[in-house]
């Protein structure tokens, strides 16, 4: 019985405390002067998906969730034996085609000389025939030899062209395979933080299989929803302040970077039931990247807080919302 009394007392105390906090949060609206809007939101960061381009077995994942990674850092590696075998085959084909091209070029040079000789011989026989010292049969025979030499030279030229085309095709395949091999190593496209590790070594992934999700800490923002009356007075670059639930003693400066063109119903997780029935405009408040980098270790997308947005240009920020940053 005594235990139940204690538990009941704790529940009531928690309810009173929670209710007091809720009342306190609602009272914050009272001190906010005209020219400002207030909305709940959550800190977010642009996500970067790291996925395979090669199908195959995931050999290694070199990072864990929460790790900060540098641009170009190797994050994971996919098996590439099959592509490497294809590359060796394509390189062998190119070597064979180059040998064939060399032989075809030598043959073409020889036939070119033969054609030149037969042309010169035809000219000589033609002159002798015109002087009556050669028969018509001999002239026709030389004309046939010259035509045959020309045909052989054209065939040799076609062989040279075919060998060159084959080399180009095989080289294109080599370039493609080499490009694929570059993707056997999954690298960070920029400095970021690992948010999710989605696959583990040993798993067989298809092309496009997701391995990691990174957070781009150069693009940290809070999304809030404002009424048409407030959103209509916003301008891109307008001032805002963010106060996080987890750090209520600090005030972070931000700017308006986006105002939706179309209204929507406010998500259930953001506003109260009555407010959800209103059409609201999505607004994106971005934090200065230099500020984010300064406090990079403390940046935690997902944290909730309150955004205060100046909706009237001549409004003066209250002292409570003067920027105050961790030291």
> Quick count: other Cβ atoms within 10 Å of Cβ 118?
21
Q: Which domains does the chain have, with CATH numbers?
A: 30-46+216-315 (2.40.30.170), 81-182 (1.10.287.620)
Among 103, 64, 100, 321, smallest CA distance to 211 is for 64
Query: Which of 79-86's residues contact partners 24+ apart within 8 Å by CB, and which partners?
Result: 79/54, 79/184, 80/54, 80/56, 80/180, 80/181, 80/184, 81/56, 82/56, 83/54, 83/177, 83/180, 83/181, 83/184, 84/181, 86/177
Q: Report the predicted TM-score, pTM, of the whole model to 2 decimal places.
A: 0.59
What is the full per-residue pLDDT of the chain (327 aa) written as tens digits?
Answer: 333 333 333 333 333 333 333 344 444 546 688 889 999 998 999 899 999 988 889 999 999 999 999 999 999 999 888 788 888 888 888 898 899 889 989 999 999 999 999 899 889 888 888 888 888 888 889 899 989 989 999 999 999 999 999 999 999 999 988 887 888 899 999 999 999 999 999 999 998 999 999 999 888 899 998 888 888 888 889 999 999 888 888 899 999 998 888 777 766 555 455 555 467 888 999 988 888 888 777 778 888 999 999 998 888 999 889 898 887
By C-alpha distance, which of 237, 189, 180 is closest to 48? 189
CB 307 within 8 A of CB 241: yes
| Residues ≥6 apart with Cβ < 8 Å to 125 | 134, 138, 139, 142
Contact between 181 and 112 under an 8 Å Cβ cutoff? The reply is no
């Amino acid at each position: 019985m005594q235990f139940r009394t204690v538990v009941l007392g704790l529940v009531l105390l928690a309810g009173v405390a929670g209710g007091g906090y809720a009342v306190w949060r609602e009272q914050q609206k009272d001190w906010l002067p005209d020219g400002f809007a207030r909305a709940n939101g959550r800190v977010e960061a642009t996500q970067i998906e790291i996925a395979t381009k090669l199908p195959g077995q995931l050999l290694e994942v070199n990072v864990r969730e929460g790790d900060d990674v540098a641009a170009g850092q190797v994050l994971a590696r996919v098996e590439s034996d099959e592509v490497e075998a294809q590359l060796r085959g394509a390189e062998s084909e190119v070597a064979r085609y180059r040998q064939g091209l060399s032989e075809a070029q030598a043959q073409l040079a020889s036939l070119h000389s033969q054609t030149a000789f037969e042309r010169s011989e035809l000219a000589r026989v033609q002159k002798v025939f015109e002087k009556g010292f050669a028969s018509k049969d001999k002239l026709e025979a030389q004309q046939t030899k010259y035509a045959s030499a020309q045909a052989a030279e054209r065939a040799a030229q076609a062989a040279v062209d075919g060998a060159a085309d084959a080399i180009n095709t095989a080289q294109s395949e080599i370039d493609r395979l080499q490009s694929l091999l570059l993707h056997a190593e999954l690298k960070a496209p920029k400095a970021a933080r690992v948010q999710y590790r989605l696959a583990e070594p040993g798993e067989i992934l298809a092309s496009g299989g997701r391995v990691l999700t990174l957070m781009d800490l150069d693009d940290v923002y809070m999304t809030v929803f404002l009424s048409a009356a407030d959103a209509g007075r916003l301008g891109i670059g307008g001032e805002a302040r963010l106060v996080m639930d987890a750090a209520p003693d600090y005030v972070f400066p931000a700017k308006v970077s986006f105002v939706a063109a179309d209204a929507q119903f406010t998500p259930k997780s953001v506003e109260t039931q009555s407010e959800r029935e209103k059409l609201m405009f999505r607004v994106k408040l971005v934090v200065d990247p230099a500020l984010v980098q300064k406090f990079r270790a403390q940046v935690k997308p997902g944290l909730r807080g309150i955004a205060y947005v100046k909706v009237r240009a001549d409004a003066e920020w209250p002292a409570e919302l003067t920027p105050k940053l961790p030291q």
